[in-house]
Amino acid sequence: MSKAFTKETDADDDDDIALPALPAGARNYMTPAGYGRLRAELFSLIDDERPKVVEIVHWAASNGDRSENGDYLYGKKRLREIDRRIRFLTKRLEMAEVVDPSVHHGSDQVFFGATVTYLESSGVERTVTIMGIDEADSLKGQVSWVSPIARTLIKSREGDELQLVTPSGVMAIEVLQVSYPSPGPL
């Protein structure tokens, strides 16, 4: 059967599959380092990876029958994935508001970019760094600024006792320490 009139569908055709959506009307806060990483990924996709895949697809297409040509089919699929990621990164970088957390160095109040150590009511001490949605990595102790813990901590100060709403109920936490990265050289 000819595939000329069939529609290829990808279940993962949504642009925002990799990362959570921003809250409505919110800015896309990022640290300078996070912005740099996303920008580097975008330029790598545009300048390096996409041209290589286009070349492979072109070569595979020149081999003839495309319906059973694995290099062609895989290359076209990979090209769609790259284009989808490029669109996503472009949108996120256009909306980005870069915030340098080092401007709060020495402050004891929690703002975006703070590293906060807090004590849970169970006696467990945790440390988190409040980051942008696109750069937070929970394995490194980083949380998004829209996460429940970050929303609870923001604008609090060292020594404040707060109520964190969790799926298992309300938990009391105490802010022990707030720190920010040192300002870089001028």
pLDDT, tens digit (0-9, with 9 covering 90-100), for 108-166: 999 999 999 999 999 999 999 999 998 999 899 999 999 999 999 999 999 999 999 98
Residue range 20-39: mean pLDDT, rounded: 83
pLDDT, tens digit (0-9, with 9 covering 90-100), for 41-88: 999 999 999 999 999 899 888 887 777 788 888 999 999 999 999 999
Q: Give the residue range(s) of CATH 3.10.50.30 domains in the chain.
A: 102-179
| CATH number attached to the domain at 102-179 | 3.10.50.30
Q: Compare 148 and 11 and report the one with higher pLDDT.
A: 148
pLDDT of residue 19: 52
- Calpha distance 164→150 (Å, rounded): 10
Q: Give the residue range(s) of CATH 1.10.287.180 domains in the chain.
A: 28-98
CATH class of 28-98: mainly alpha
Question: If you compute the radius of gyration of the chain from its CA atoms, what whole number of angstroms results?
Answer: 22
Torsion from C-alpha of 60, 64, 66, 72, nearest 10 degrees: 0
> How many C-beta atoms lie closer than 10 Å to residue 44's C-beta?
11
Q: CA–CA distance from 157 to each of 28, 81, 102, 115, 175 (Å)? A: 24, 44, 17, 12, 7
pLDDT of residue 12: 45
pLDDT of residue 68: 77
What is the reported pTM? Answer: 0.76
DSSP-based three-state secondary structure for 54: helix
